[in-house]
Chain A
Amino acid sequence: MTTAPILKIEDLRTYFYSRSKQAFIRSVDGVSLEIAKGETLGVVGESGSGKSVTALSILGLISVGPGVISGKIGFHSDRIQKDLLQDLGDFVKLTTRAGKVMEVTKDVVGWERNTERVMSKVRGKEIAMTFQNPKSSLNPFTSVGKQITEAIRLHTAMKIEREAKERALTWLDRVKIDSPRLRFDNYPYGLSGGMCQRAMIAVALASEPSLLIADEPTTGLDATIQSKIVDLLVELKSELGITTMLISHDISIISRLSESVAVMYGGTVFEYGPAKHILSAGFESKHPYTSALLASIPSAQNIREKGYLPAIEGDVLDTINIPEGCRFYSRCNQVTEKIREKCARQEPDLRQIESGHKVRCWLYFD
């Protein structure tokens, strides 16, 4: 496949700032990943891993603190091919000490203006996003039907109200909302969580984007509704062939929908590669975090034997106090004497161990 990936993120860093501690919150601290056309990339991570912030950074939706400070976001669709962070260097100056960024001088207002100029052509039309908490992410003052119609008129060639409305109705039907004509005029408060999520997916897809970013599409919903939403996404995927970046902490959903997976922890990517390799139990060469994470989910075997779960000790990384060396060192159960020194002192690079599979771990370095 020689076509360029639709999205190629290189060494993205998005920082926030804690005034009370006078320190940076390094939410995204060197993230690189790519999404090929037509593919679904699942981004897995726990809280603090930076997955949502990565999505918001792509769309230029970070308006607090220093925000995006370095990196490249290469976007390549049929209509637009550019690095979305092209001009960042003009607005940001970094001072690094001992490899860590210690000072950031940023023209926040200027960058904001620049972002608006660049991203206004991208948001919705090229990259669409659905958010967690569907009820509060939709506009509470407009009916869901109108929101879809608005998206259609803004981002597609269909500008006539009547036509757009018809198209919106077909979308409502496509996301399996019952009685589309009735629901068209419903406001978000009158719909259940599951329906709001479907509506939000409709809004996103109705703009016919080249890339869909779905941030935790099933969190907060009931178990049965969750599986329905996943089924819907599977269907839409095979019907429309949309390229998707799926963010979730729920590994079962990621495994059902993604071809590739990126495992994030503490603001960086620990492992990246084909989903069927990374997420299947029993496949050997995986990052210690990934294997420990998978092992800690109650499996059929655990349940049958009623044994204790092999839990990862310690707490999830606090992105203010990032240690020297590997971010997972303090919790890792696969550290050998040979690499202990390195794990404690130096952070490994993301290195390719086989075709399409990259791991950030000293275990795989010789």
Chain B
Amino acid sequence: MPKTILEVIDLKKHFIDRRGLFSFFKQQRQSIPAVDGVSFNLKENETLGLVGESGCGKTTIGRTILRLEKPSSGKIIFDGKDITSIPTDELRQFRSQMQMIFQDLDAALNPKMDVRDILSEAITVHHRISDTEVDNRIGDLLEQVKLKKSKLSSSPHELSGGEKRRVSLARVLSVGAKFIVADEPTSALDVSIQAQVVNLLRQLQKQLGLSYLFISHDLRVVELISHKVAVMYLGKIVEIGLSDRISNRASHPYTQILWSSLVEKQSKETVQKAKNVQAGRWGVFDFEGPAAGCRFAPRCPVYESMGKPMLCTDAASEPRLTDIGGSHQVACHFPP
């Protein structure tokens, strides 16, 4: 029975919009709820895909779990230990096991260092090792991520996109990552390279027993690589379940709309449903004044088709994630 490596309980991260010098005097500070009460579990050797449009908070969740942002409330339990508010020195021990792959290909790759320096710095972060040991480790890492040894003396700007990705993977593996938050790991890559990286990620998972939080807007890749998928909207998870459930028998209207954008999935009904929403207006996300009650109501086709029931916009009855069988949860008052 694979153990749970990560438990996130009602995690919230609010950004305070500071305007002006005397903002700390202001009574009313604008608070942007980037992550507004998210809970999920992740087991060893498992991948949880996280999808949603830009601004929904998916990147913020990844960063908050790794304590790159301070959580506003909630709990993060990694490998059985509550790391939500432990001090930085204690945190550093856990840091080696929970790592992040950034969306920006150049992040983590210091342009003034060559690949060998980058990797040896990472290797020696937590342990003092002899030079020959370091070289051996580097050799192993390169093999794992399938990078040629000749690339060791290259600077990051001489590397191709795929190679940069591999180096950053090697870097996080070298410190001993067991859980990796992969933030759009394939978005900046060419199509043919994306396939390579996706394959590599899956191989590494099998070889090393890694767990991934796979954040992406590429639904096909998410479906392929994830065991479970969570759909986020405006800071909340609106649906979560096994990946083929979510892609084929989604419950939440938003999930259905998301998947309808995939060309292959366009059966008559999904296109029709999507068209109904398309008839609506497309303004910019209004974070600063989310609708009362269900956040998706203003864009929801079901809301429209049911004659705008009061339940959906009632501030007191925000839909909560409820089990609908087979580890599938939906936050909707009227799941079809």
Residue numbers of A with Cβ under 8 A of B are 46-47, 178-179, 191-192, 194-195, 222-228, 231, 249, 251-252, 255-256, 292-293, 296-300, 302-304, 306, 308-313, 315-316, 318
A315 to B160, CA, bound (A): 8
Is B190 positioned at the interface, with any CB of A under 8 Å from its CB?
Answer: yes
A300–B263 Cα gap in the complex (Å)?
11
The residues of B that contact A223 with a CB separation of less than 8 Å are 53, 217, 219, 258, 261-262
Interchain CB contact under 8 A, B223 and A303: yes
* 10 new A-B contacts at CB < 8 Å, known A223-B262, A315-B160: A47-B190, A222-B54, A226-B261, A256-B263, A297-B220, A298-B224, A308-B202, A309-B195, A315-B162, A316-B190
Complex CA distance for A195 and B202, rounded to whole angstroms: 37
Q: Which of A194, A224, A292 contacts B192 (CB 8 A)?
A: A292
Specify which chain B residues have a CB less than 8 angstroms from the CB of A299 in the assembled complex. 220, 264
* B232 CB → nearest A CB, Å: 13
B198 touches A309 (CB 8 A): yes
Q: In whole Å, how far is A235's beta carbon from the nearest beta carbon of chain B?
A: 11
A-B contact count (CB 8 A): 98
Which residue among A249, A292, A293, A311 has the maximum number of chain B CB atoms within 10 Å of its CB? A311
**Cβ–Cβ < 8 Å partners of B244 in chain A:** 303-304
Which one, B106-114, B124-132, B280-288, B328-336, is touching chain A? B280-288
Q: Is B163 an interface residue (CB 8 A)?
A: yes
How many residues of B are in contact with the other chain, CB < 8 A? Answer: 38
Instruction: Decide if B278 is an interface residue (CB 8 Å cutoff).
Output: yes
7 A-B residue pairings within 8 Å (CB atoms): A46-B191, A47-B190, A222-B53, A223-B53, A224-B258, A293-B191, A316-B190
Q: Is B230 an interface residue (CB 8 A)?
A: no
Q: What is the distance, in angstroms, from B254's C-beta to the closest C-beta of chain A?
A: 9
State in angstroms the CA–CA spacing of A249 and B217 once bound together: 16
Residues of chain B having any CB pair with chain A under 8 Å: 53-54, 160-163, 190-196, 198-199, 202-203, 217, 219-221, 223-224, 244, 247, 257-258, 260-264, 274, 278, 281-284
A20 to B198, CA, bound (A): 34
Which residues from chain B contact A292 at a C-beta distance below 8 Å? 192
B199 and A311: CB pair below 8 A?
yes
5 nearest A-B residue pairs (beta carbon): A311-B195, A296-B195, A46-B190, A227-B261, A298-B220
| CB atoms of A298 and B263 under 8 A apart | no
Q: Which of A192, A222, A304 contacts B217 (CB 8 A)?
A: A222
What residues on A are CB-neighbors of B223 within 8 Å?
Answer: 298, 303
Is B191 a contact partner of A296 (Cβ separation < 8 A)?
A: yes
Chain B contacts for A47, CB-based, 8 A: 161, 190
Asked whether A310 lies within 8 Å of B282 as measured between CB atoms, the reply is no
CA separation between A139 and B115, bound complex, in Å?
40
Q: Contact: B261 with A224, CB < 8 Å?
A: yes
Query: A96 to B251, alpha carbons, bound, how many Å?
Result: 63
B261 adjacent to A178 (CB under 8 Å): no
* B50 shortest CB reach to chain A, Å: 14
Interchain CA distance A130-B289 in the complex, whole Å: 34
| B161 proximity list for chain A (CB < 8 A) | 47
Residues of chain A within 8 A (CB-CB) of B202 are: 308
Q: How far is the CA of A192 from the CA of B284 in the complex (A)?
A: 6
Partner of A249 from B163, B190, B264, B274 at Cβ < 8 Å: B190
Bound: A202/B161 CA distance, A: 34
Chain A residues with CB under 8 A of B199: 308-309, 311
B282–A228 CB distance below 8 A: yes
Complexed CA–CA distance, A299 and B263 (Å): 11
Tell me, in angstroms, the Cα distance from A256 to B122 when the chains sit together: 46
With the chains together, A249 CA to B186 CA distance in Å? 14
Closest chain-A Cβ to B52's Cβ sits at a distance in Å of 9
C-alpha gap A251/B194 in the complex (Å):
14
Do A311 and B192 touch across chains, with their CB atoms under 8 A apart? yes
Interface pair B190/A224, CB less than 8 Å apart: no
Flag if B282 contacts A194 (CB, 8 Å).
yes
Q: Chain A residues near B160 (CB, 8 Å)?
A: 315-316, 318
Q: Which residue of A lies closest to B194 (CB)?
A: A296
CB-based contact A302/B263 at 8 Å: no
User: What is the bound-complex CA distance between A300 and B219, given in angstroms?
Assistant: 11
Given known contacts A223-B53, A252-B263, is B193 in contact with A315 (CB within 8 Å)?
A: yes
- Nearest chain B CB to A302's CB is how many angstroms away? 6
CA distance A315 to B196 in the complex (A): 10
In the bound complex, what is the Cα–Cα distance between A318 and B192 (angstroms)? 14
Give A251 to B264 CA distance when docked, in angstroms: 12
In the complex formed, the residue of B with least CB distance to A316 is B190
B221 partner, pick from A179, A255, A298, A311, beta carbons under 8 A: A298
Q: Which of B194, B224, B264, B278 lies at the interface centre, i.e. has the most chain A CB atoms within 10 A of its CB?
A: B224
The CA-CA distance from A224 to B220 in the complex, in Å, is 14
Name A183's closest neighbour in chain B (CB-CB): B283
Question: Whose C-beta in chain A lies nearest to the C-beta of B160?
Answer: A315
